[in-house]
Structure 1
Amino acid sequence: MAERSDIAAADEAELAVLVAQAATDRRPLLVQGFGSKSGMLRPVQADATISTRRLSGVTLYSPRELVISALAGTPLDEIEAVLRQSGQQLTAEPPDLSGLLGSDAGQSWGGMVAGNLSGPRRIAWGATRDHVMGIRVINGRGEVIRSGGRVLKNVTGLDLCKLLAGSQGTLGIMTEITLKVLPAPATTGAIIIRGLDANQGVSALSAALGSPFGVSGAAFLPSWAAETIPALGSQSVTIIRIEDFPHSVAYRLDQLSGVLARFGRAETLDDLTSRAVWKAIRDVTPLRPGASEAVWHLSTRPSHGPQLLALIEAAGARGIMDWGGGRIWAAGPGTEAVHGTVMRAVRDLGGHFTLMRAPDSLRTAVPVVPEEAPALAALTRRVKAAMDPAGIFNPGRLYAGL
C-alpha cells in the first residue's frame, strides 16, 4: 500500500484551493489537526492527510466579553494558558484523552470542537457545542463559509455551528472557531462518600444534583478506579464538586454534607486535592487501557447508569460513571463479542455508544456509533451531500460508505 501523503496548508486560502482540487479529483482526505484522535471511530479510507496544524494563533480575545477566537490548528494548551492569564476557562472542561487513546500528540482547537469533547462540567454548563458562537469552515467544494459571529446577539448560522461541532471532520474543515468562555472559579471543593455501590452512588449523586447548591461535577468510581488516584483510597468513591468563591464553597459543602448524610459519612477535599482528583476524572486516567483493549464512551439516563455498568462488567469490561451516572467510560477486551454486548445494552436501556479506541480489525468490522433510524440516516446523507458532495472528508469515519 502506498504511503499516505501529508498536506499542511499555510493558511485558509491555500487550504481551500487544496480542498477544491481534491474534490475535482475525488481524492479522499483524512482531515485532522495533530492526529491525537486518529485511533477513534472507524479507520478513514483516504490516500492523503490534510492537517490544520499550521493554522495557529489566537485571533481575538476579549476577556470582558468572555469571548475567544483562534485558528483551528492552535494547540489547546496554548489557548488555556491565555485564558488562565485573565482568570478564565473553557466552559465545557474538555478532557485530555491522550492517555486513553494511546496518543502523545497534542490536541488542537479545531479537533476539540470537531469531537465535541466535554468534561464533568457539562452537567452544569452544557457541552462544547453549546458554547460555539461562530466558525469559519471550508466545505467540500473548497468554499469558505462563515457562520455565527463573535457576539451573543449574532445568531446567524447557529445551527451550522452546532452541526459542525461533533461532526468529526466529516462535513468540512473548520479554520477558525469562536467560543464563549467563563471566569475560572477561585476555589474548588468536593465531597466524597466511600463504600457505596453503583446504585447507592447514583442515588447520592442525584440528590446532590437536585439540591440548590450548584454542583458542577458528579461521579462514581468503583474501588479499583479509586485506588488509581492516591487521595481516594481503596473503597468505591461517590464524589461531588462545587466551584466558586472560598466562602461560598465552604458554606455549600457544609450544607450539601447534611443533604447527603443519609448515604454515609461525607468527607470534604481541599482545593488542591479536589482539582487533582477532578483532573483525573476529566481525563479518564483510572481506565489505563491496554493496547489490545477497546474503550467506549456510553451515555444514558443517569438512573440507567448502574444497570448499564453492571452489564458491561459482566462482559469483562470495567467502567466509571460521570455526569451523575449518565456517562460511562468503559474499557475491556477489544473483541466483537464484548462490543456486541455493549451495543445491545445501550440499545435495550436507551442511550448512545461511541467506540473511542480499539484494534483496527474491530474498528473496521463493527459499528462505532449506533446505526441511525432510516429517516435520520436519510437526513444524514442529505447533509453530507450538501456539505461534501464528492465525499472527500474523512470517508467511513462514522459510518461505512459515508
Structure 2
Amino acid sequence: MLRPSSETELAEVVRGAREPLFVQGNGTKSGMLRPVQAAETLSLSGMRGITLYAPNELVMRARAGTRLAEIEAALAERGQQMIAEPSHLFGPEQTLGGIVGANISGPRRISGGAMRDHVLGVRCVNGTGEVLNFGGRVLKNVTGLDVAKLLTGSFGTLAVLSEITFKVLPVTEATGTIVVHGLDAPAGVAAMSAGLGSPFSVSGAAYVPARRAAYLRIEDFSPSVAYRCEKLRQQFGEAEVLNTEDSQALWRELRDAAVLPAGEALWRVSVAPSRGPSVLQAAEAVGLAGYLDWGGGLVWLTGPASEAAHGAVCDAARAAGGVWWLLRAPEPLRAAVAVVPPETQAFAALRRRVQQSFDPRGIFNPLKLQAA
C-alpha cells in the first residue's frame, strides 16, 4: 500500500505510477460501487490534520485523510457543525476526502444543501502528478468553472484530493420533530410535502414504513422551535412532538440508515418525491426493506445481495424516472451488475473529455463510476 504523508510525497507517487491506482482514505467505502482493478492501493490516511479553523469566519480546512470524528469533535468544541450532516453509515473512521469525494449528504440536504454546496476550495494532484489549487476560503471567489464542486462526488476518478476547505455553521440551540403516525407511503409523502411547503422552515422530512410514521424536523432557537412545532402539529391534528434529545437521536438513526434491518446489500434511489412510494412498494414486493428521506426524493433500500434483488431495484427506479446507486454489497455482485445507471452516449463522451483533461493516463479508480 502506498501511504504518502504529505502533498509533495503524493505528487511524487502519482508521477511515478505506471499502473492504475485504487485511491482511498481509510477504505471505509471500498464496498461501494464497482470494484477497482488496480496494481496498487493509494491511501490518503497518512495525510491527516486540520490546517485551518476560523470559527468566526465559519470556515475549516483539513487534509483529505483527516477522520470525520476528528473534524466533528473540533467543531463541537466551538458549538459548530458540518452543514451537510454527512452520514456515519461508513463509520467514524471515514475521512474528509472520502466524504467530499462521494458527496455524502444527510437529511439536512433538502434545506441546507449537499456537501458539494459547502466546499469552498480544494487542493489536489492530477493524473500527471501536478498539484492544483481551486477555490479559496470565501464564497463567490470563483470565475469560470467551479472545479472544486466538479471534484466533489467524483469518487477519486479525476484527481486525488489532498486538502479541502469547507463552510460550517453553528449548532442550533434546539431541535423539535413532529411525528405523524398511522400513514401509508403516499400519505407520508403528502405530510412531508405539507411540512416542507409550510412557513416553518422544516430542515428534515422522512417517512419510515415499518413505523407508519412521517417525521418533520425544525431546528433553531428554543422559543422559535417550540412555537413552530406547535403550529405545525396543529395542522396534523394528533401529531406528536419530540424534544431536542429524542429528535437528535432519531435523526442520527435516519442519517445513518440505522432504521433499516441489517442486509447484505444497500441501495440508494433518487426520484421525484411523488414517485418515492412507488419505488418503495415495488421493492417491498420482492422482500426488500426501505424508508424515504429528503421529503420522499431519496429511497433507502436493503436486502439480499442478489442479482434478482438488484434487478428489481433498477426496474423500480427506471419506472419512476429515477436513478440508483449500489452503495454497499459484496464484490461479486458489484462486479456483475450495473452499480449506477448506464450513461447516455452524449454524457459518456463528455465524461471522457473531462477525465482525459484531469487523468490522461486513466490511473485513478478506473471504472469506479461506470455502470458495468
Partner of 2:15 in structure 1? 20
The alpha-carbon deviation at position 314 of structure 1 amounts to 1.1
Deviations 1:84-127 (A, max 9, x none): 111111000000013xxxxx671101111001000000000110
Which residue does the alignment assign to 2:73? 81
* Cross-structure match for 1:252: 228
Show the counterpart of 2:39: 47
Task: Provide structure 1 residue ranges, at least 5 long, that are not aligned to the other structure.
Answer: 1-5, 99-103, 224-234
Q: CA deviation at 1:259?
A: 2.1
Partner of 1:394: 365
For 2:99 and 2:110, how far apart are their aligned partners in 1?
18
Query: Structure 2: which amino acid aligns with 1:95?
Result: S
1:154 is aligned to: 141
**Distance in 2 of aligned mates of 1:14 and 1:201:** 52
Structure 1 residue 338 displacement after superposition: 1.7
Match of 2:257 in 1: 284
SS at match of 1:9: coil
For residues 397 and 97 of structure 1, what CA distance do their matches in structure 2 show?
20
Structure-1 separation of matches of 2:223 and 2:216: 17
Note if contact 2:89-2:256 (Cα within 8 Å) is conserved in structure 1: yes
Runs of 4+ in 1 over 6 A off after TM superposition: none
Q: 1:206 aligns to what?
A: 193
Q: How many angstroms apart in 2 are the aligned matches of 1:194 and 1:348?
A: 29
Distance, in Å, in 1 between the alignment partners of 2:147 and 2:308 is 37
Deviation of 1:386 after TM superposition, in Å, equals 1.0
After superposition, the C-alpha distances for 1:60-101 in whole angstroms (9 at most, x for unaligned) are: 111111111001011111111111111111000000013xxx
Q: In the alignment, what sits opposite 1:91?
A: 83
Q: 1:250-270 deviations in whole A, cap 9, x for unaligned?
A: 000011112223xxx110101
| Unaligned stretches of 5+ residues in structure 2 | none
Match of 2:153, SS state, is coil
Q: Could you report, residue by residue, the CA deviation over 1:318-377 in whole angstroms, capped at 9, with x for unpaired residues?
A: 101000111011011211122112112111211111001112111001111111111011
Q: Is the 8 A contact 1:289 1:295 kept in 2?
A: no
Letter in 2 for 1:360: E
| Alignment match, 1:166 | 153
Q: Residue 238 of structure 1 aligns to which amino acid in structure 2?
A: A
Q: Which residue of 2 aligns with 1:229?
A: none
> Could you tell me which residue of structure 1 aligns to residue 114 of structure 2?
127
**In the TM superposition, what is the alpha-carbon distance from 1:156 to its structure 2 partner?**
4.2
The amino acid of 1:181's aligned partner reads V
Which one is further off, 154-163 or 325-334? 154-163
Is 1:64 aligned to residue 56 of structure 2?
yes
SS in 2 for 1:7: coil
SS in 1 for 2:2: strand
TM-score by length of 1: 0.90
Taking only the aligned residue pairs, the percentage that are identical comes to 54
**Aligned counterpart for 2:3 among listed residues 5, 8, 18:** 8
Partners of 2:341 and 2:371 within 8 A in 1: no
Report how far residue 400 of structure 1 moved: 6.3
Q: In structure 2, which of residues 106, 123, 132 is the aligned counterpart of residue 136 of structure 1?
A: 123
Cα deviation code 1:256-315 (max 9, x no counterpart):
112223xxx11010111110011011011122433xx22101110110011111011112
Q: Give TM-score scaled by structure 2 length.
A: 0.97
Aligned residues: 372
Give 1:113's match in structure 2, choosing from 93, 100, 120. Answer: 100
**Cα separation, 2, equivalents of 1:312 and 1:389:** 40
**Residue 226 (structure 1) aligns with:** none
Q: CA RMSD in A?
A: 1.3
Provide the C-alpha distance between the structure 2 equivalents of 1:115 and 1:157, rounded to a whole number of angstroms: 23
1:59·1:71 contact (CA, 8 Å) conserved in 2?
A: yes
Query: Contact (CA 8 Å) 1:148, 1:154: kept in 2 or not?
Result: yes
Counterpart Cα distance in 2 of 1:313 and 1:74: 38
Aligned mates of 1:324, 1:79 — CA distance in 2: 28
- Amino acid of the structure 1 residue aligned with 2:175: T
d(CA) in 2 for partners of 1:301 and 1:10?
43
8 Å contact kept, 1:148–1:158: no
